[in-house]
Amino acid sequence: MKAIIVEDEIPAKDELEYLIQTHSRIEIVASFEDGLDVLKFLQENEVDAIFLDINIPSLDGMLLASNISKFAKKPYIIFTTAYKEHAAQAFELEAFDYILKPYEEKRIAAMLAKLESAYQRESKGSEEVTTEVNRRINLRKNENIIVTDVNDIYFAEASEKVTVVYTKSEEYMMQMSISDFHDKLPQDTFFRCHRSYTVNLSKIHEIVPWFNHTYLVRLKDMKAEIPVSRSKAKAFRQLMHL
Question: Considering 133, 163, 193, which residue would you say is the last residue of a domain?
Answer: 133
pTM score of the predicted model? 0.55
> Do 129 and 140 sit in the same domain of this protein?
no
Question: Considering 89, 112, 133, which residue would you say is the last residue of a domain?
Answer: 133
Q: What is the Cα–Cα distance from 190 to 183, expressed in whole angstroms?
A: 10
> Do 160 and 94 sit in the same domain of this protein?
no
Mode of pairing for the β-strands spanning 197-200 and 204-209? unpaired
Q: What is the Cα–Cα distance from 110 to 233, expressed in whole angstroms?
A: 57
Is residue 116 within 8 Å of 24, Cβ to Cβ? yes
Question: How confident is the model over 24-80, as pLDDT tens digits?
Answer: 999 999 999 999 999 999 988 999 999 999 999 888 899 999 998 888 788 999 999
Q: What is the CATH number of the domain that holds 149?
A: 2.40.50.1020
Domain that holds residue 125: 2-133
> Do 171 and 233 sit in the same domain of this protein?
yes
Q: What is the mean pLDDT of residues 127-154?
A: 76
